[in-house]
Amino acid sequence: MALLKEAGIPIGRMLFIPKQEGMSKDDLIIESNGQYKLTEMADRFVIKNDECCRSILVKVKTKE
């Protein structure tokens, strides 16, 4: 497992992860201390803080 990013996401904000070649959202392992939404776009993944009242901490890793 390779750590791609570790960050705090404030209320209503997003975290962008650049997409590497051949990667899909099924290849990601996301550890979080709150609710989030994961969206896959052509060139990046978007993780949005889905909590109503607090920031969340997120660790994004790859499955390998």
Domains of the chain: total: 1
Whether the predicted model's global pTM rises above the 0.85 cut: yes
In order along its 64 residues, the chain shows pLDDT tens digits of 799 999 999 999 999 999 988 899 999 999 999 999 999 999 999 999 999 999 999 999 998 7
Q: Determine the Cα–Cα distance for residues 7 and 56; give it in Å rounded to an integer.
A: 9
- For residue 17, the 8-state DSSP code is E
Domain of residue 29, residue span: 3-62
Q: Determine the Cα–Cα distance for residues 57 and 64; give it in Å rounded to an integer.
A: 22
Q: Using the structure block, give the residue that is written with the tokens 């404030």.
A: 10
Q: Using the structure block, give the residue that is written with the tokens 């904000």.
A: 13
